[in-house]
Every structure is written in C-alpha cells, then in structure tokens.
Amino acid sequence: MDYTNDYNAYFVPTFSRAGSPIVKGKGSYLYDAAGTKYLDFGTGIAVNALGHAHPALVKACIEQVKKVIHTSNLYITPPHIELARLLVEHSFGTRVFLCNSGTEAVEGALKFARKYTSQKSPEKYHILSFFNGFHGRTYGAMTATAQEKFHKGFGPLPQGFHYAVFNDIKGTKEVLDQNDYAAIIVEPLQGEGGIHSATTEFLKFLRDYASEHDIVLIFDEIQCGMGRTGTLWNYEQYGIIPDVMTLAKPLGGGLPLGAVVCCERVSSAMSPGSHGSTFGGNPVACAMGCEVLSIVADAAFLQQITESGTLLVEKLKELAMRYLLIKEVRGAGLLVGVELTCEPKDVIAACRGNGLIVIGAGSNTIRFMPPLNVSAKEITAAVKLFEKSIQSIHIGG
C-alpha cells in the first residue's frame, strides 16, 4: 500500500512528508514499514529522551491506562500530583500548571505574567522576545516567535509584542526602555533557531532588569530542559534563575504533556478559574512524566549525558576538519548543531537514505538530538553514517 498518496490526499498540507511510514521503535532505533532500520538522532524533536519503548515508560503507561485514562481537572489523580511534586522538588519552582504541549505552556506563562503585572500596574502588559527564538504556533506563542515566516498571512497578531536581538544587551535595553513590560521570554539555548546559546552576561542582564522592574522572566526550556544539555535544567549552567519556566517536549515520555513551572510570587496572581485545560495533567502522560523525570534527574545519568555530548562533539569536530561542508559544531550536552556551508535539506535526506535520522535547525544547521541514554557505540555509528552522507553530497556536487 502506498501511504504517500493517502498522506497527500487526506491532510491539510502543513507538512511535506514522504517515505515509508515508521512502524516500530526500540532504544535508539526506528523501523519503517519497508523494514529499514534508522539510528534516531532526532528523537521526534527531542521528545523521546529515553529512546523508544523504554521498559519503565511502557510499564508506567500500561499500568495507568488500566487504572484510569482521563478525569479532567475537576478531580485529582495520583500521577498528576506526583509529577507536580517532582517538578517542584527538582527546580526553582514552588508551583506548576500542567498542559498538553509547548505552545500551551508558553500561552500559560504569558497569561500568568500579564495577570501578575496587571494587579499593580495595568499598563505593564508588553512582552519581549528575541529574534530567531521559537515558542510555538498558537497566537500568543506564535507572536512571541520573532520570525517573520511564522507570522505571514495570520494577522492581525495580538498586541504588545516586541523583539530584540539575542545576546545583544545594549539593543535589548533600548527596546525594554521603550515600553512597560509584563514579561521577557527567552530560550537559554535557541533550538529551532539554529542551536545558539545565550551568554551568561545576557541572561544576567535580563534577570537584573526583570527584578528591578518587577516583571516576569520566563525561560523557555521546552527543548533545552530535562537533561538535554547535561544538567536537569539549562539555567543551572548559568546560575541564573527565572521566575517561570516552560516545559514540554520530553516531559511526557512521548505523550503530549507540558508544564509551566512558577515561583510563588507569579503563581499567587492566579486563582481558581483564571486559567484551565481539559486534558492538562492527563494521568497517563503524568505517570510517564514521573518516570522520565526520576530517571533523568539522577546525578550519574546527567553526568553520562555530558560525557556522551563531549564524545559526539569531538567526533563531529574531527569531521569538520576534513570536510569544508561543515562550518561549525556547537551546542551543549546532547543538543548539538552542525552548521553547514550549504542548505541542510539534501544532507538530511542523504542521512535518512543511509539509516540516520537528524533534523534541521535555522536555515543552515543540522541538529543532533539522540536519546539521552544513547551509547558510545551508537554515537560512533551515527557519525560514520553522517560522514558517508556528506561524502555522497560532496561527490554529487
């Protein structure tokens, strides 16, 4: 059966997809219907943090499905309370709001921030974000995503959003001084935008500015959080603590789950009925979330991520010395970007043809985001497949 024709026939054309459907995953590998095996260094865009079919996640999921699948937030369930407790115990936050995706976590964070500042200073409603950042596709999160291509044709956009250049302290201060802000939202490490880390000075400036003006500093750790960069949260590496942090992607172990982690000051602005979600905190997703968080928060596990990341970067840098196609290798932990001197599309396709899944970031970068428990052997194998793929591009012209 040709699924490609059906895909093209039945879906709103928001994605261009082809190739044999994926039918199975195990550890760091995916398998398609044609029987081809792929080393998965894309992990469903940093979602499958423990690889595929991790026994603890499968068990947690099946056990919870048998107990109760959904209750809504009209009732409480043990997994959703347990997950909130774990998130608070392992972060700066004192309270959490649970939702179903990254974009919803961002919407929640922006709403909480505006609610907070509206109490004392209603004129403080502006929101600052940074060029090349990514925060999601719903209206608030999309408008905070300072990339023209995501806005085109969807106006009018919500009001009060402003943008500044990432890591540019002077320019950011100018934009901040022009309006009364409720929030600053920033990715400590821009993922979709091409794997760019914030500087410590920049985040420190944002922290100081937010504290001085009593506005809300939001770190979007949807992609760079949950162990991805070698510490449980990326902000730990800077020693800078936000007021609110958004989480999603890997949090639910593959099921849709997002969270807004808040300090007490911001969460105290909210009251029953002021925000909500029918599915948010779904007990099956939360049961898996508890497993993911318990496994990843372990110090030895985190140490292993740093070591694996160092190995991956070393091997990619070796390639960079031999292939002009590679301009730069950068990143943190197991969120690694390889900037190319050409568009990454053909290289990504060549990789898939050779049994390696990687994904693009920004306009010229390939993202390597293997499972956090990837083995050294798998890293070596992936870099070999990547080399084979760039060789084929080289020779082909």
Ligand X SMILES: *Cc1c(COP(=O)(O)O)cnc(C)c1O
Query: Of these, 107, 187, 243, 291, which contacts ligand X (CB under 6 A)?
Result: 187
The residues that bridge with 330 in the sheet, in sequence order, are: 337
By CB under 6 A, is residue 289 in contact with ligand X? no
Report which of 280, 232, 248, 290 is spatially closest to residue 59, judged by C-alpha positions.
290
Size of the site for ligand X (CB under 6 A): 15
Q: How far apart are alpha carbons 389 and 39 in whole angstroms? A: 13
- Nearest to ligand X by Cβ — which residue? 102
Question: Residue 170 carries which DSSP code?
Answer: H
Q: How far apart are alpha carbons 224 and 232 in whole angstroms? A: 9
Q: State the nearest-atom distance from the C-beta of 223 to ligand X, in Å.
A: 3
Stretch that binds ligand X, among 215-223, 309-317, 326-334, 362-370 (CB under 6 A): 215-223
Query: Of these, 101, 197, 234, 308, which contacts ligand X (CB under 6 A)?
Result: 101
Identify the burial level of 177 via C-beta atoms within 10 angstroms of its C-beta, where 0-12 means exposed, 13-18 middle and 19 or more buried: exposed
Query: Of these, 48, 64, 223, 267, which contacts ligand X (CB under 6 A)?
Result: 223
Residue 337 three-state SS: strand
Q: How far apart are alpha carbons 109 and 387 in whole angstroms? A: 41
DSSP E strands, the chain: 22-26, 29-32, 37-40, 95-99, 126-130, 161-164, 181-186, 189-190, 196-197, 216-220, 244-247, 258-262, 326-332, 335-340, 356-357, 359-361, 365-368
Q: State the nearest-atom distance from the C-beta of 192 to ligand X, in Å.
A: 5
Query: Of these, 48, 103, 197, 389, which contacts ligand X (CB under 6 A)?
Result: 103
CB of 333 within 8 A of CB of 228?
Answer: yes
- For the chain, helix (H) and strand (E) counts, in that order, are 14, 17
By CB under 6 A, is residue 288 in contact with ligand X? no
Stretch that binds ligand X, among 102-110, 291-299, 303-311, 342-350 (CB under 6 A): 102-110
By CB under 6 A, is residue 282 in contact with ligand X? no
By CB under 6 A, is residue 142 in contact with ligand X? no
Three-class SS of 262-283: ECHHHHCCCCCCCCCCCCCCCH
Query: Of these, 25, 108, 188, 191, which contacts ligand X (CB under 6 A)?
Result: 191
Stretch that binds ligand X, among 82-90, 117-125, 128-136, 307-315 (CB under 6 A): 128-136
Identify the burial level of 168 via C-beta atoms within 10 angstroms of its C-beta, where 0-12 means exposed, 13-18 middle and 19 or more buried: middle
By CB under 6 A, is residue 248 in contact with ligand X? yes
Stretch that binds ligand X, among 18-26, 174-182, 207-215, 216-224 (CB under 6 A): 216-224
Stretch that binds ligand X, among 53-61, 217-225, 295-303, 320-328 (CB under 6 A): 217-225
As a whole number of angstroms, the longest Cα–Cα distance in the chain is: 64
By CB under 6 A, is residue 102 in contact with ligand X? yes
Q: State the nearest-atom distance from the C-beta of 191 to ligand X, in Å.
A: 5
Q: Which residue has the tokens 């160092």?
A: 310
Stretch that binds ligand X, among 26-34, 100-108, 265-273, 389-397 (CB under 6 A): 100-108
Q: Which residues bind ligand X (CB under 6 A)?
A: 101-103, 106, 134-136, 187, 191-192, 220, 222-223, 248-249
